Structures are given as structure tokens and as C-alpha cells.
Amino acid sequence: MTEEMELICFQLIANSGAAKSCFVEAIQAAKKGLFEDAKAKLVEAEEAFVEAHKIHAELIQKEASGEKTEFSLLFMHAEDQMASTEIVQLLAQELIELYRDKHAQ
């Protein structure tokens, strides 16, 4: 694996991980009824996840233009982190709405 590809993998992992942490913090804030804090954490999470998606899109564009992407355990881990973050993102949105409804009663 090239040094450049390692860096790309670590950027994907770091940005996805930061986003996932913020999504979880948003859920925790909503659970306490702190919906402004939850909203702020969602914004922070989205910013980090968008950055991960930009990096990922660049890889896809390179491969589409004929440049092979090196596959490794590290790259597989980066892909897995992105996928799991997407699941946490969807669950965060749903759980925050549920907590909003619960706190409105």
C-alpha cells in the first residue's frame, strides 16, 4: 500500500469516526431534552461526514478513470467505518425525532 493510500484511509477513518461520535453525542443530548445541543452536534457530524464523502468520491472518480484502487485491510476498515457511520446517522435522525416527541408530551 502506498503512503498516499494509507493517508487517504486514515482520513476516511478519522472523519467517519468523528462524525459517528458527534451523531452519538447528538442522540445523548436529545435524550436529555437538549435539542439545540443535539442540532449543533448533528451539524458538526454532517461536516465531518461530508469531508469523508469528498475523499471517498475522489477515490471513486480515480477508479472510474482507470486508476486502480489498492485494496487492503486498512482500506476495508475505512469502508466499514463509513458504512457504519451512515447507519448511525440514520438512527440518530430517527431517535432525535422520537425524543423530541417524547419530550413534547
Q: What residues are labeled active site?
A: 77
34, amino acid identity: L
Compute how many other C-beta atoms are within 10 angstroms of the C-beta atom of residue 66. Answer: 6
DSSP structure string for 4-67 = HHHHHHHHHHHHHHHHHHHHHHHHHHHHTT-HHHHHHHHHHHHHHHHHHHHHHHHHHHHHHTTP
